[in-house]
């Protein structure tokens, strides 16, 4: 039997700072599933390109880099080779760079196989922007997590300050709005809810409440 039928997947898509990473990680931990932060793959690729002096507009070179990306996710930490880059990939500049390379078709294609390989027993929770629409269209439960730009900017501001990064609220609102427009307008896997996805607005609810709702939905979908 195909592992696609054996290993269930929950996809949690949504815009930047909607809370999908935190929520997806907690859902995965609750269920004992594997966790895929697909956005981190783009951030890792962008970080690696910048470190190697590769122009973000050089589609072929960035795609080659993505294809052989030495990445690992271990207990909430992100590794590029043997280096822990958990904080580095969350820097705002890397997020902006990741959004720019994410519109490149060759880069997206290079990362598809890597993302699919995370589907393992007993199951997977995958968060990103096209998990339910492109990477795992057969997911047993699809969630589209969203929130207002103001709420997302406020969360991002707190995250950056807590990690010691400089942050400006006006710049964050501007950057998030521009990223939303860029991600929604791209021709390759635009940001949008997957068919049949449950739209969950987290503007005024906690991560714990979002996790609870998703677990209930998954339990119902699995019956």
Residues 6 or more apart in contact with residue 203 via CB below 8 angstroms = 147, 148, 151
Question: Which fold does the domain 3-221 belong to in CATH?
Answer: Rossmann fold (3.40.50)
Q: Which helix (H) or strand (E) holds 74?
A: strand 71-74
Q: Yes or no: say if 106 and 63 are a contact pair by the CB < 8 Å rule.
A: yes
Edge-to-edge strands of the sheet including 71-74?
Answer: 71-74, 77-80, 83-84
pLDDT in tens, 102-117: 889 999 899 998 899 8
Domain map (residue ranges) of the chain: 3-221
**Structure confidence by residue, pLDDT tens digits, 198-222:** 999 999 999 999 999 999 999 998 8
The answer, yes or no, to whether residue 160 has pLDDT greater than 60, is yes
Question: Quick one: pLDDT band at residue 54, thresholds 50, 70, 90?
Answer: very high
What global pTM score does this model have? 0.83
* Cα–Cα distance measured from residue 78 to residue 86, given in angstroms and rounded to the nearest whole number: 5
């Amino acid at each position: 039997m195909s592992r696609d039928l054996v290993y269930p997947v929950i996809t949690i898509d949504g815009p930047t700072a909607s809370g999908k990473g935190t929520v997806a990680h907690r859902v995965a931990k609750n269920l004992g599933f594997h966790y895929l932060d697909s956005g981190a793959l783009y951030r890792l690729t962008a970080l690696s390109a910048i470190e190697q002096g590769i122009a973000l507009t050089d589609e072929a070179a960035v795609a080659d880099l993505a294809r052989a990306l030495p990445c690992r996710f271990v207990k909430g930490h992100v590794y590029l080779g043997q280096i822990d880059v958990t904080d580095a990939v969350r820097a705002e500049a890397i997020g902006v760079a990741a959004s720019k390379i994410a519109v490149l078709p060759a880069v997206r294609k290079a990362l598809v196989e890597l993302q699919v390989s995370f589907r393992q027993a007993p199951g997977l929770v995958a968060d990103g922007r096209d998990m339910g629409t492109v990477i795992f269209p057969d997911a047993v439960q699809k969630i589209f997590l969203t929130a207002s730009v103001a709420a997302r900017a406020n969360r991002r501001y707190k995250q950056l300050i807590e990690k010691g990064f400089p942050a400006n609220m006006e710049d964050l609102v501007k950057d998030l709005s521009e990223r939303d427009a860029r991600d929604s307008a791209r021709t390759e896997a635009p940001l949008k809810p997957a068919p049949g996805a449950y739209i969950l607005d987290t503007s005024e609810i906690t991560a714990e409440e979002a996790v609870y709702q998703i677990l209930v939905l998954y339990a119902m979908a699995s019956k």
